[in-house]
Amino acid sequence: MKTILSILIFSLSFLSLFGQDTKPTTKATEKSFPTNLNEENFKKLKKFNGKIIAFDGLIEGIENSRNNTPFYKLKIGENNYLWTALMFKNDKNIIGDKIRVVGYLIPSDPNEIERKYLDGKYMVLSFGLVDIKSSNFLFISGAEIQKQEWIEGKIPSAK
């Protein structure tokens, strides 16, 4: 009897440690996935250097990043572009898709191959993407707090 009880307790403990997370996940609402960069404030891009930004962009070009993930040329408004490297794989989106990304704005530091196309002063290292039209929502693992903040309608913090 003690053996069965011990096995039962061990099993329950194991399941609670390694089982699925039972915390409720906030569902997306109309306030989810806000942006803080657009065509109007793009000329003040420098003030976002090193900070988290979120914006809508039209995919105008796709290259491979250093980590073999998509590197998108995203058009913001009429004449503004930001190259955006995803920190995760994405084979769903193609040229012509409108997506919303969130990530860090950083100075571009192109390697020899990237110099052929990476022409802006800044680029984005994206840890999240949402394509509302196709319901494609991708986020890098390990950024659960930022993911939850963005779903709840906040620009993610750099925690």
Contact in structure between 5 and 13 (CB atoms under 8 Å): no
- In 3D, which of 64, 70, 76, 65 has the Cα closest to residue 100? 76
Angle, CA 82 vertex, CA 45 and CA 157 arms, to 5°: 60
d(CA 22, CA 15) in angstroms, rounded, equals 11
Measured in degrees and rounded to the nearest 5, phi and psi for residue 29 equal: -130, -175
Which residues have CB under 8 Å from 36's CB, separation 6+? 48, 53, 54, 55, 155
Residue 7 lies in a domain: no
d(CA 84, CA 62) in angstroms, rounded, equals 10
Residue 18 lies in a domain: no
Q: Residue 159: its pLDDT value, please?
A: 65
Residue 79 lies in a domain: yes
Residue 12 lies in a domain: no
Residue 76 lies in a domain: yes
pLDDT of 145 higher than 50: yes
Read off the pLDDT of residues 19-60 as tens digits, 9 standing for 90 and up: 334 344 568 888 999 999 999 999 999 999 999 999 999 999
Q: Residue 29: its pLDDT value, please?
A: 87
The DSSP element (H or E) to which 25 belongs, if any, is none
Alpha helix segments (H runs only) across the chain: 2-18, 144-151
pLDDT of 65 higher than 80: yes
Q: Tell me which residue range forms the domain holding 46.
A: 23-151
pTM score, two decimals? 0.81
CB neighbours of residue 82 within 10 Å = 24
Burial (CB < 10 A; 0-12, 13-18, 19+), residue 139, is buried
Residue 100 lies in a domain: yes
Measured in degrees and rounded to the nearest 5, phi and psi for residue 55 equal: -160, 165
Between 124 and 10, name the one with better pLDDT: 124
Counting the structural domains of the chain, the total is 1
Between 67 and 5, name the one with better pLDDT: 67
Q: Residue 19: its pLDDT value, please?
A: 36
Q: Residue 14: its pLDDT value, please?
A: 34
> What CATH number is attached to the domain comprising 67?
2.40.50.140
Q: Residue 16: its pLDDT value, please?
A: 34
